[in-house]
Amino acid sequence: MEYYKPFLVILSCAVVVGIISIIFVLRWVLYYQGGLAWNGGLAEFNWHPVLNISGFIVLQGLAIIVYRLPWSWRCSKLTMKLIHASLNLVAFIFAVVATVAVFDFHNAAKIPNMYSLHSWVGLAAVIQYCLQLVLGVGLYLVPFMPVSWKMAFMPIHVYSGLILFSSVIAVALMGITEKLIFSLNNPKYKDLPPEAVFVNILGLLLVVYGALILWIATRQSWKRPNDQTLHSLNSDGGGEDGTKVGPALSQLSDAAEGEDFGEVRKRSNKYDDQVN
């Protein structure tokens, strides 16, 4: 497992930073901002950062890298696609409810909607995420879709997913900036009270989380090998019941350090490699 030590370190850091971010946003709204409720007031607004950070950022990040987890390679590609799509669907539902919360709050408080750059880029991200989900499911989960279509769309699907994820983090940073300016009055944001420091750190955590997820997602050597490669290693290292898949994956990990793994991948099914 030599090869996967850096992967496991980076993955652990990402998970820890993601969990700390969720704890931070919960502490922010529960301790500093009056808690959570669904009453049209500030406590309903508070669902907006909580759901967006936990769902639209942390969960979306995990959905992006779910194919990279070596222990998921014993699952079929279809299973992994379903998990990837489901996590993204849950993240999308979180984002929609978060958007409803802020519209409700604005309407009740007679604050105009959709005036800020935060709201413009944020709503664009929610709409693009919806489109990404619909196209992703349509192309990669609907049976009998032509392989040529899957292949042609894959670079756009991956690129669009990563840009969306980065944009959502940028939107969150704008949202934090807005909220701290509007909600801190005595002392003000510029006086840097404890809440400002605490939420600024939350912003930094989101940047670090994004950077870690993007590092994992863009390492070619950490990609899930195609099914043919996995099948041949499973056949060598274990039976159909998968009890010896662990050692087989370990061999794969070791092989991936040298040229041999690259050669195995080159020989294997090109289409499968590209559409996954």
Ranges within 106-145 binding its own copies (CB under 8 A): 111-112, 115-118, 120-121
Query: In angstroms, what is the minimal distance from the CB of 182 to its own copies?
Result: 8
Stated length of the chain: 276
Least distance in Å: CB of 202 to its own copies? 9
If the CB atoms of residues 52 and 234 are measured against its own copies, the closer one turns out to be: 52
- Rounded CA separation 220/216 (Å): 9
- Closest contact distance (angstroms) between CB of 246 and its own copies is 28
Q: Nearer to its own copies by C-beta: 136 or 175? A: 175
Site for its own copies in 162-221 (CB under 8 A): 163, 166-167, 169-170, 173-174, 176-178, 180-182, 189-192, 196, 199-200, 203-204, 207, 211, 214-215, 218-219
Task: Say how many residues touch its own copies, by CB under 8 A.
Answer: 38
Residue whose CB is less far from its own copies, 141 or 192: 192
The minimum distance between CB 27 and its own copies, in angstroms, equals 17
Contact positions vs its own copies (CB under 8 A): 111-112, 115-118, 120-121, 155, 159, 163, 166-167, 169-170, 173-174, 176-178, 180-182, 189-192, 196, 199-200, 203-204, 207, 211, 214-215, 218-219
